Every structure is written in C-alpha cells, then in structure tokens.
Amino acid sequence: MKKVTGLGGIFFKCDNPKGMNEWYAKNLGLATSEYGTTFEWRDADNPSQKGSTTWSTFPQDTKYFNPSAKSFMINYRVENIVALVEEFRKNNVTVVDEIAEYDYGKFVHILDPEGNIIELWEPKNEVDQDKEVE
C-alpha cells in the first residue's frame, strides 16, 4: 500500500505570525495571507491532477500542535487514510484523534517516537476542471 505521496504543508509557531507572513512576503516573495500561502503544482505522472502544499505560521500559544510541545508540524499527503490508521493501530503508533473530513479532504494526527506531531491529509481529488477527464 502506498503511504505518503508528498508534502502537504509546513506549519510553525512564531511570536508574531502576521509579522512573519509580511517578512516572508517582502523578502522571499511569498503571496501570504493571514493563513500563510499555498503552492499549487501538478502531478508529474498525471498532469491533470493538481496538488498543493501549504506554508503557514501559528501563534506560540496555539493548541493545534498538541500534544506535541514542538514548535513545528509537518503535514504529509497520503492515500487511503482509513487503511493507514488501521495499520497504525496494529503497529502501536499513537493516533492522536479521529479522522476528520472536510470539503478539501480527510485529516488525522499521529505522533512519531520523539513526540513530534504529524498531520496526515488525504486530499479530495484535485483534477483540473479546465480539462476533460477521461
């Protein structure tokens, strides 16, 4: 079973998220909003398949990374998140929450052996609407 298919996003805590977003916009040219920025791309093996990777800042007091005490979280794109969670449970991987489903995909959080929180995302099919899909 294919597991991680790519990087979904990088999230990190900072003292001044708005200021950091402005700094990255000014100095590195990121098109930031209050939520960071999203890089869009196409799958090399299937160009009709679109994808995205998010870069986002969070305030130091965010609870979103809990129970990890680390100042960052990496989001990985995955396939078949339900089967993955079943496999994690069999392998005694700490699954932090239940699978949540939104318009843009399914999410779940796990911990690695050092307590780093990992967000897993199974995106909805991101097919280019401008092209006919066969």
CA distance 112 to 61: 22
Q: What does the domain layout of the chain look like in residue ranges?
A: 14-79+91-123
89 neighbors 83 (Cβ within 8 angstroms): no
Burial class, 50, CB count within 10 angstroms (exposed 0-12 / middle 13-18 / buried 19+): middle
pLDDT class for 133, splitting at 50, 70, 90?
Answer: very low
Superfamily of domain 14-79+91-123: 2,3-Dihydroxybiphenyl 1,2-Dioxygenase, domain 1 (3.10.180.10)
Whether the pTM exceeds 0.75: the reply is yes
- Quote the mean pLDDT of the chain: 91
14-68 pLDDT tens trace: 999 999 999 999 999 999 998 899 999 998 888 988 889 999 999 999 999 999 9
pLDDT of residue 46: 85
